[in-house]
Structure 1
């Protein structure tokens, strides 16, 4: 299903699975991984990779390796013994490589024993390509390339995303002319990129293919519902509390009951075909709106996503108009006009046609907010 969905999104590769080890609570992206158990993580990753690539879409296993913390993630140094590295942290990647052969590996942000993962020749070249015999494309994590020569020599083929931050054309050429970087090394990196491009072409997915929602089908919904239900494990049921009986009196408490926590933030965010919140689902199941609810403790660290509570004439979300000049300018030119359903906008590669040479542009966002109830503001 992931492969099918990728095709509907015009994607030649999926940036997953993640199989870093969940060894503690400081890994803010731990929810993307599978387990604290290295064997389970490896076999689960292998299954995901097989399924994705069976449909002609590349899987990108990540983050290689010891990417287990988010605090100062570009600078954190993971200090690990050789045995723990081999038996715990490398094991999921090794199993996935043995049983599924992912087309792409993504290097990690962090250092391992004092050396950046993207610059460790012993990991990318020695273990991955040498010992394991893997032959594919190595890419950096987003803005996770920190050098030209060291990363090229280590075995990182492609700096991501998009236009390079480090491997700029003039800088690379300068090092080639100084004979700091030999052309056979460039040829090796480029060959791996071309092999991936060949695989992408064979998938039949056009370049810059448009996205569509044709995979929003009853079959897709049924599979996703089954996966969600099967993933829940009940460890204890003291006093036969579950399943709840219709005569039981219940109250729903917590912000997640009305605002679905169906995905993570940043690059883990997405626009699902539909969402169901817990409170409304329970009301529907009981056939009654008489279900007590309380917010409880708020969990938002920043302003709530206003895109979820505003609307326009076209539907939910903001009406966005993109201009070349600020609002006080009298000669503003409209560059883009669209609807966005979130106020938390990531614009890594967004640049409207007509923006100036610095890619400077201005957003006007409009949306109507209607409170659910009428009343006085809460007093603290």
Structure 2
């Protein structure tokens, strides 16, 4: 019968030292051992040791499949007040709380208090985000213990736990290897049932090397010092700010914004979402001119290809200024952390209500940008 439970330990066979293991000669590897042929103990050790190395490597690589999380490529950082870097001490500091903006999760749930960290050349700063993530484990009726967790990285004391047979308001009291202790006893039993964990409270910034990081389902890298330590690159999923020695910047005034000038094919309002017409089968429009982007048009395949946001109102034939990347200010009423879509009912307009084809064009960092 197949074993459906994950073992709670590795082989951990020998230390791989040269006097303990020996790789078989190529000829032996090609043909294998013959009947009655004596096998040196070093080769037997090598077989177990090498197999265990692969087991541990593959087990670590299962992170993404054994734990489900809501982290995605739309995450961004905001807030932070003044960001600064001092090369001599390696100090990266932020004068106000940072917010990790994750779609569908209020930004206040992932707040990083004002503070600083010291980064050696090449080191990273990272947090364990407060996002729901799931794995499986065995629960028993009347017991506070959960056994045989499929993956335990990212689970921490104080996190909330939900799932079948788990009472409301249950939290993690202790974690030990692939087992944990709940604050309340399970109301029923289940083998490898789904359990969802979520963090609470402010985030703590940790530092280390990228190579030495063992990521969990909710690990988010916030900043990284360059290999020479001459700068710190700050941002999630993309570099939002680059700080050199003695520099002070903020997320909304860093200049990391692409702006182009393009001829307007029609009158455009300030903050219009625009696209470049390919001409030809884009009925009645001029090749190379920009028009209001349209996520609900019968020409959706052409007109929903966003170029950027027109910063000021202009008439047809004028040269429009279009922000193609970065932060666009002066909006109003946005919900921080939530995606922004093309409005399928109003060409050139944006909305945070997904409708029509659901063409996503950005992420709200604040109520106005």
TM-score range, shorter chain: under 0.3
Report the TM-score, using the length of structure 2 for normalisation: 0.21
**Structure whose residues are more often strand by fraction:** 2
Report the TM-score, using the length of structure 1 for normalisation: 0.21
**Larger RCO (CA within 8 A; separation ≥ 6):** 2
